[in-house]
Amino acid sequence: MNPKGNPQNLRKGRPKGIPNKATREIKATATDLLSDPAYVENLRIRLVEGKAPHMETLLHHYAYGKPKETVDGTLTHLHRIYAWQD
């Protein structure tokens, strides 16, 4: 007997690590759209004109890495500051 359950259930479902059909189709469609020369040129124009701030931020993260986020150890709530007690 399989430790995960009934041996009859071993072959049911998609194998681990294999994306489902919808995921593959969506990824293929997105790849086609994003690699379209007309889209790329339009994106380039929007970036230069400053009309694509989210894409500009994403491209900066890809090119230079995402900045490290730090936590200062204080919580603010209802105009009060509670410092962490050691």
Residue 8, in any domain of the structure = no
Residue 1, in any domain of the structure = no
Residue 2, in any domain of the structure = no
First vs last C-alpha separation in the chain:
52
- C-alpha distances (whole Å) from 25 to each of 14, 19, 20, 32, 67 are 16, 10, 9, 11, 33
The pLDDT confidence band at residue 84, using thresholds 50, 70 and 90, is: low
* Total structural domains within the chain: 1
Domain, as residue range, for 41 = 18-83
What pLDDT score was predicted for residue 44? 95
Is the pLDDT confidence value at 78 over 80?
Answer: no
What pLDDT score was predicted for residue 63? 92
Residues 8-58 pLDDT 10s? 656 677 788 887 888 889 999 999 999 999 999 999 999 999 999 999 999
- C-alpha distances (whole Å) from 43 to each of 9, 31, 52 are 48, 15, 8
Is the pLDDT confidence value at 81 over 60?
Answer: no
Residue 12, in any domain of the structure = no
Residue 47, in any domain of the structure = yes
Residue 6, in any domain of the structure = no
Residue 53, in any domain of the structure = yes
Return the bridge partners of 2, or none.
Answer: 5
Determine the Cα–Cα distance for residues 21 and 9; give it in Å rounded to an integer: 21
Residue 79, in any domain of the structure = yes
